Amino acid sequence: MNVVVVNNFDRMSEEVAKIMIKQITQKPKSVLGLATGSSPLRVYKLLVEYHNRGADFSGLTTFNLDEYVGLSKEHPQSYRQYMNENFFSHVNIKPENTFVPSGVTEDPEEECRLYEQSIKQAGGIDMQILGIGSNAHIGFNEPGTPFDSITQVVDLSESTIKDNARFFDTIEEVPTKAISMGIKTIMQAKEIVLMANGGSKAKAIYGAVMGRITPEVPASVLQLHPSVTIVVDQAAASKL
């Protein structure tokens, strides 16, 4: 595990963007696993700037980690909407090669099965980008999720619902379920890059990097992966 400690959010974003640009340059047909949340926002901005300077993203395929159950792709807080607004609509990735689970499918179990199948058909994920929840969740894999889990419907923990309420008008509007890649799905990526900033992530980062490997701390599983880079600002690294 390679831990990179930087000064602040901007440096963290630059470091992660640099790693992604290297991946895209080396393999223009990369399959990228993408994350949402506030952590990667500036990374997407930097990738858009890179595209505006002439970089071609038309060979890329992307798979997002998760989506809220019950939110349509037009809902302002859906992760599909987040990806369109912050990244996809500003670059030349082919829309048909951008995968985000559907939160409003009639048959969520089937949606999960097809999502796993699509990842396999694409040849697997070359580089998975991750944020981390304050309870150390990755994707929406909450504490207690088995390490052998694949894409599935999950219940969000109370702490996650509280953390994410800031994006909604009221806490009652925060969905209580999501479709999320499983821990095993994430661990199958060839390379993983996790980013975190701020003191509210310090405990989770300690658990991910130095804690006991246990499903109670989902990100601790990353210690078992052969190629992980963790990019953190000083506040998030404060317990290391």
- Judged by CB under 6 A, the stretch of 26-34, 107-115, 132-140, 221-229 that binds ligand GLP is 132-140
Which residue type occupies 55? A
| # chain residues binding ligand GLP, by CB under 6 A | 14
Instruction: Let me know the angle formed at the C-alpha of 34 by 29 and 37, rounded to the nearest 5 degrees.
Output: 155
Of positions 103, 139, 182, 211, contacts ligand GLP by CB under 6 A = 139
Enzyme catalytic residues: 66, 135, 137, 142
From the list 49, 226, 10, 37, the residue with the least C-alpha distance to 132 is 37
Cβ nearer to ligand GLP, comparing 93 with 130: 130
Which residue type occupies 35? A
Q: What are residue 230's DSSP bridge partners?
A: 3, 194
**Residue 131 C-beta: closest distance to ligand GLP, Å:** 2
Which residue type occupies 12? M
Of positions 12, 112, 127, 132, contacts ligand GLP by CB under 6 A = 132
| 82 contacts ligand GLP (rule: CB under 6 A) | no
CB atoms within 10 A of CB 25: 11
Cβ nearer to ligand GLP, comparing 105 with 157: 157
Q: Are strands 152-155 and 61-64 parallel, antiparallel or unpaired?
A: unpaired
Residue ranges binding ligand GLP (CB under 6 A):
35-39, 65-66, 131-133, 139-140, 160, 164
